[in-house]
Amino acid sequence: MTITAVRAYPLRLAGPESYLGAPPAGAGDGYFVRPPWRSLYSPAFETVLVRVDTADGYTGWGEALAPVGPEIVAAVVDRLLAPALVGADETQIRPLWTMLSGLMRERGHLVGHQADALAAVDIALWDLRGRTTGRPVAELLGGAYRTHVPTYVSGLPRPTDAERVELAREWVAKGVRHVKLALGHGVDADLATYDAVAAVHPDLRVAIDAHWAYDLADALRLGRALDERRAWFLEAPLVPEDVTAHTELAAALVTPVAIGESLRNRYEFREWLARRALDLCQPDVARTGLTEAMSVVELAAAHHVPVAPHHSVGLGVALAAGIHLAAAVESLPAFEYQPGTLPVANRILTAPISGGPDGFDVPAGPGLGITVDVDAVEAAGKDQR
Which residues are marked as active site? 310
- Which of 227, 301, 260, 329 minimizes the C-alpha distance to 321? 329
Rounded to whole angstroms, the Cα distance separating 320 from 295 reads 19
Q: How far apart are the first and last CA of the chain?
A: 33
- Indicate left, alpha or beta for 142 from its phi (over 0: left) and psi (-120 to 50: alpha): left
> Which residues, other chains included, contact 87 with Cβ-Cβ below 8 Å and sequence gap of 6+?
2, 3
Rounded to whole angstroms, the Cα distance separating 96 from 146 reads 29
- Indicate left, alpha or beta for 340 from its phi (over 0: left) and psi (-120 to 50: alpha): alpha
Q: Which amino acid appears at position 11 of this protein? A: L
Distance of CA 254 to the CA centre of its chain: 25
DSSP-derived secondary structure letter, 77: I
Strand segments, DSSP code E, in 272-327 are 280-281
C-beta separation of 91 from 314 below 8 A: no
C-beta separation of 187 from 160 below 8 A: no
C-beta separation of 152 from 337 below 8 A: yes
Backbone angles phi, psi at 61, to 5 degrees: -120, 140
Rounded to whole angstroms, the Cα distance separating 75 from 112 reads 13
Distance of CA 170 to the CA centre of its chain: 25
